Amino acid sequence: MAQHLRQVENALDRLLSPHAPPGSAWAAPADLNDAMRYAVLDGGKRLRPLLVLAAFEAVHGAPASDADAAPMRAACAVELIHAYSLVHDDMPCMDNDVLRRGKPTVHVQFGQAGALLAGDALQTLAFEVLTPLDARVDPAVQARLCAILARASGRVGMAGGQAIDLASVGQTLSEDSLRHMHQLKTGALLQASVMMGAACGTASAMALQAMEAFGQAIGLAFQVVDDVLDVTADSATLGKTAGKDADNDKPTYVALMGLERSRAYAATLAEQAHAALQGSGLADTAALAALVNRVIHRVH
Amino acid sequence: MAQHLRQVENALDRLLSPHAPPGSAWAAPADLNDAMRYAVLDGGKRLRPLLVLAAFEAVHGAPASDADAAPMRAACAVELIHAYSLVHDDMPCMDNDVLRRGKPTVHVQFGQAGALLAGDALQTLAFEVLTPLDARVDPAVQARLCAILARASGRVGMAGGQAIDLASVGQTLSEDSLRHMHQLKTGALLQASVMMGAACGTASAMALQAMEAFGQAIGLAFQVVDDVLDVTADSATLGKTAGKDADNDKPTYVALMGLERSRAYAATLAEQAHAALQGSGLADTAALAALVNRVIHRVH
């Protein structure tokens, strides 16, 4: 996992290099590139990229270390989408947050217009990364990865979940509605990470089904733990403002079922994720299992 | 052209239907979908989609009317990117504009958070449209279309141009710098429209080269005319606030070379576009030629 983390950091750093990207006559404007780098580098747990790489290795039994091959591209693309969503969510018109990954948020550092544009360009870059101009990635894989990522991050995925979140301030949601919101807002991209790892090659129907169940369980578990941490951790440990959900009167699992039942629910979801791996018929799911434990036992 | 316009309007309307999209268990949240529809439908000259369809028909000699085939998908995708850019550019932290296509802008109608999310989801939807889950579009074409669109709209394309624009307020730019800004901000997506039309099938090197030259000329011509109209037209005719560039102290062709030389430059660029078509060896470029005239003689 440490090796994957290093490889992801290197790949992201290269993608956001200040020089002209391959095939372009121009480099990105320096202000914009600086804001994009600030939003992506030096921080982040990289959970989504790690899920992509671990799922690829579990399903295809091959190492995912080549920075130009599909798995590392998919890993970077999901992280770029995640980073763009944080930049926009932190803006004053959304959650109006000033602290992220222990640093001032992008709009504090680069202004609102700078943050808006950096987020926009990070989203675009995700699809650029998935579609290299050389022939080193099978076009069918490129198309499949774009298809999964776009659906998980758009109107019936992450952005849709964010819209429900906005409309839910001050509301009491049923458990079904809360789960629906989180499946879209956070779950869809986490599940997509796993599915994109599998989609970097030809996967069996059984493996795909296992990855789908695994992705769904770990996606929801992540959000339940997030709600717990918002109540139990302090801002210094989280690297972002703690207690924000209650302050903003947002519906959460803790608000719905209390702290203890939320913790128990996260543990149940973790068991479901492990069970999906055990039933998958795949030989080496140790890295995916380790990521479940990381999600459940994380402190930030 | 009237037929293409009708087909594009229908295709966009279907894409933004309030029902669950194909392959999804859920529909987009109603608020979000309403804001996306408002941003895209009932307005717009649809210049970019018309360029996609005309370029496809010129290069491939086949009609582009099937709503599920690559050309109409490419046409919708560029329009979605264009629409997202307008929604975000109009926000208070950017150009702070309240009038667009003769209607209140999206942030006025749906709030800033609503506009931010709608723009984000429109960008994502462009890549979703290009990557249908059924096998009706060749995956190699899907990948190529995503590659062209992402590069034209990102950090070394439209978003990059917007960043230069932001940084140029109050500056006097050289003609080279002004052209560079506009090639990114407006030109890249207009050129991409033409190239995407060509990329929906197998094009000869000569046709691609002609489309590249054509796209570059019409892209720049569009912007020069835009600068002229900002000075000469009124807000009611434009459907957006006139005189904005001067008010915001933005560098323009009119500021750089005056009104008459700007008009003459637009005419020169139109001749270059026509020359590219004549030298292309393609049989039927009448629709593309008509679009040049529409760009040059437009009043809004």
Q: How far is A159 from chain B (nearest CA, A)?
A: 6
Closest CA to B85 of B122, B111, B50: B122
Place of tokens 């959970």: A47
Residue B100 half-sphere exposure toward CB, CA atoms < 13 A: 25
Place of tokens 């059984």: A206
Which chain A residue has its CA at the smallest distance from B85's CA? A120
Helices first, then strands: H and E counts in chain B: 14, 2
Angle between helices B158-167 and B139-153 (to 10 degrees): 0
Other C-beta atoms lying within 10 Å of the C-beta of residue A176: 8
| First-to-final CA distance of chain B | 18
Mean per-residue pLDDT for B177-192? 94
Look at B146 and A149 and tell me if their CB atoms are within 8 Å. no
Are A82 and A48 spatial neighbours (Cβ–Cβ below 8 Å)? yes
* Amino acid residing at A5: L
Q: Is residue B156 pLDDT above 80, yes or no? A: yes
Are B157 and B182 spatial neighbours (Cβ–Cβ below 8 Å)? no
Other C-beta atoms lying within 10 Å of the C-beta of residue A247: 10
d(CA A230, CA A219): 17
Q: Which residues of B touch A139 (CB under 8 A)?
A: 139-140, 142-144
Q: Which residues of B touch A130 (CB under 8 A)?
A: 146
Q: What is the pLDDT of residue B171?
A: 83
Question: Token pair for residue A127?
Answer: 């699809």
Q: What is the pLDDT of residue A53?
A: 97
d(CA A38, CA A150): 24
- Between B170 and A81, residue with greater pLDDT: A81
Look at B94 and A111 and tell me if their CB atoms are within 8 Å. no
Q: How far is A21 from chain B (nearest CA, A)?
A: 8
Q: What is the largest CA-CA distance in chain B?
A: 57
Q: Which residues of A touch B128 (CB under 8 A)?
A: 147, 150-151, 154
Q: Which residues pair with A104 in a beta bridge?
A: A99
Q: What is the pLDDT of residue B143?
A: 97
d(CA B97, CA B165): 16
CA A48 vs CA A73, A79, A215, B195, B201: distances in Å: 12, 6, 11, 33, 35
Q: What is the pLDDT of residue B299?
A: 73
Q: Which residues of A touch B157 (CB under 8 A)?
A: 124
Q: Is residue B4 pLDDT above 90, yes or no? A: yes
State the pLDDT confidence band at B197, using cuts at 50, 70 and 90.
very high
- Name which of B94-108, B207-221, B242-256 the model is least confident about: B242-256
Q: How far is B188 from chain A (nearest CA, A)?
A: 12
Q: What is the mean pLDDT of each run of 10 residues along chain A (300 residues)?
A: 93 95 88 97 91 97 88 98 97 93 94 98 98 91 97 97 91 88 94 98 95 96 92 80 77 90 95 96 94 88
Other C-beta atoms lying within 10 Å of the C-beta of residue A158: 27
| CATH number of the structural domain A2-297 | 1.10.600.10
Domains in chain B: boundaries: 2-297
d(CA B206, CA B210): 6
The model's pLDDT over B112-140, given as tens digits with 9 standing for 90+, comes to 999 999 999 999 999 999 999 987 899 99
Buried/exposed B232-247: b ≥16 CB within 10 Å, e otherwise: ebeeeebbbbbebbee
d(CA A13, CA B91): 30
Are A221 and A228 spatial neighbours (Cβ–Cβ below 8 Å)? no
